[in-house]
Amino acid sequence: MKYRSTRGKVNGIPFSEAVMMGLADDGGLLLPESIPLLSATELQQMADLSYPQLALRVLSHYIDDIPQAELKELIDRSYATFLHPEVTPVMHKDGLFILELFHGPTLAFKDIALQLLGNLFEYMLAKTGSHMNIIGATSGDTGSAAIYGVRGKKGVNIFILHPKGKVSPIQEMQMTTVTDPNVFNIAVEGTFDDAQAIVKEIFGDLDYKQKHALGAVNSINWARVLAQVVYYFYAFFQVQKTTGCSEVEFSVPTGNFGDIFAGYVAKQMGLPIKKLILATNGNNILSRFVNSGDYSAAKVNHSLSPSMDIQVASNFERYLFYLYEGNSARICAAMETFKKEGVLPVSAEELSQAQQIFSAASITDAETLATIGEFAFSTGYILDPHTAVGVQAGKRVGSGDCPLICLATAHPAKFGEAVYAACGEDPELPSAFQGIDQLEKRLETLPADITVIKDYVTRYALS
């Protein structure tokens, strides 16, 4: 399998090069040259596999430059760090299914991809005897998951930017209390979109990127998306065993479009997904697109689900590539228009195509709290705010014709204040969080200025 850029100037590169490149050198996002369509027979053969076995089966369709035995070892090592034997168990609550994605080291769904990506980086760097400086932006969970994925690994330094004061206290402590010498936390005086724009612009400076051997852990890295494709298959097979269903719907809380794009890939591979329900909070550029074709930038508002406080969804370009039928010239023009005018053009026909695959709803903070409280009262099960957004969106726009699977993206204890406001009691604190507020912290606060950020990275980068 070879990879190409959405913008047309990078083509025919192997998986390993795509992973190390992160953002394509032409400023686009990397995609496989084709998405394999699995037969009904192959799907049936996959149904009873364990999570690591299933991951090997799915990933092998996209990775042909790592020997199978070595890929298996990387996958097994990545998921051995998870606290639940199923890795991503499915719970049946209140007539719907909850896909728990928070059993990794940082108790968030990002662990599923970033434990694997960290091991891939270490493997590839060891093969070449080289080094890497990772730069990423986080709205909350990506940062800690990326840090835990590469902390202490040889040949890697990691620089993570987060919006100062706009992640939850637990999320900030998870990042800043990791004091390994290869970890650098930067609080940016701005929004997540500011931080993400700085990271993308840094990667767009090819001389700087090559000089400092930059690598990406944000969902601009194809390996992030690919790892997440696996749990859509796993969830479907678990629900099919319980219900005998022939198709399902997934409700996905998303801000950057990476998690739901993984579901789109799974659907294109032949997984019988009737609809992907796109759930946003009040920062609703994605739900506005699905419901009315309005993909226009707006001010980012801080919410109870901060990991979704995003108004420029970096992974949306990957979906546009398919919506525009692989027309890279049109992608380039559209992204330039969006950069200048804050609006992305979509035709009525293209909107109709998108609506055949996606439904969408935007959920307010008040609705989020009500959902957490009502769900806890009726089932005894505590949702985190992001998962609550997905549950409420699924209930609102789901068809009701097939099982609904809602992605639970974080442990509720990561957002204890919101849970307390909804339920009147604190969520149970996992052992991983106990005493975290007493640990030593290391953090640098910098302005949302690319020159200042680049100077800081240059000062501490491996060379």
Q: Which of 110, 164, 274, 454 is catalytic?
A: 110
Q: What angle do CA 367, 189, 110 make, to 5 degrees?
A: 55
Residues 6+ apart with CB under 8 A from 165: 187
Q: Which two tokens stand for residue 295?
A: 């993909």
Q: Which two tokens stand for residue 369?
A: 């709290």
Helix axes 348-357, 316-323, angle to 10 degrees: 110
Torsion angle of C-alpha atoms 429, 432, 435, 441, degrees rounded to 10: -130
End-to-end CA separation in angstroms for the chain? 31
| CA-wise closest residue to 314 among 12, 27, 20 | 27
User: Contact at 8 Å (CB) between 284 and 166?
Assistant: no
| CA-wise closest residue to 375 among 362, 394, 358, 361 | 394
Per-residue three-class SS string for 221-262: CHHHHHHHHHHHHHHHHHHHHHHCCCCEEEEEECCCCHHHHH
**Is 110 a known active-site residue?**
yes
Q: How far apart are CA 457 and CA 444, in angstroms?
A: 12
Q: How far apart are CA 86 and CA 72, in angstroms?
A: 17
Q: Which residues are catalytic?
A: 110
